[in-house]
Amino acid sequence: MNKLSNILTIVLGVLLAVSAVLIILMMSSFDDAARLESLIEMNLNWGYLLLIAGAGGALVFSVINVFANPANLKKAIISLVGIAVLIAVAYGLASDAIPHTKTADEMVAEGSLTGSVSKMIGTAIWTTYLLLFGAVGSIIYSSVSRLLKR
């Protein structure tokens, strides 16, 4: 396991170095608009690549872990059902009403903002609120229970 840890540390160091070089190149190119635009696009693509690799790695290792320890499968299914219920509740709370602002009216006119898009945006916002409420509630619960145990 120590060898794998060393390899992962080296890989992470290389990824960090590439990211730092790309950021430094972008920050040093503010006077050349064309070069800056291409470096911004390169940084975005690098970020997308890292996001896809990270999400893919998390999925692959989760599947490997489920097969290595089948007892965790029940916990994983319960977690996925909980997330699905949370998103369903958020979807139920979300409105499909479109706000009447200048920008929203322009987006409606060009067809990029519809009731269903507004509903999905509302679902994402409500999901964030519910997750935040759960996180703050967990912190308060653990603090109070720890104080009561003393």
Cβ pair 39, 22 in contact under 8 A = yes
pLDDT band at 4 (very low <50, low <70, confident <90, very high): confident
For the segment 81-112, what is each residue's pLDDT rounded down to a tens digit?
Answer: 999 999 999 999 999 988 888 888 888 889 88
**Given a cut of 80, is residue 150 above it in pLDDT?**
no
Segment 39-89, tens digit of pLDDT:
999 999 999 999 999 999 999 988 888 888 888 888 888 988 999 999 999
Output the pLDDT for position 121. 94
Query: What are the boundaries of each domain within the chain?
Result: 1-68, 70-150
For 119-136, b/e burial (b = at least 16 CB within 10 A) is beebbeebbeeeeeeeee
Amino acid code (one letter) for 104: A
**DSSP class of residue 101?**
S
Six-digit token string for 63: 């599947």
Claim: this prediction has a pTM higher than 0.75 = no
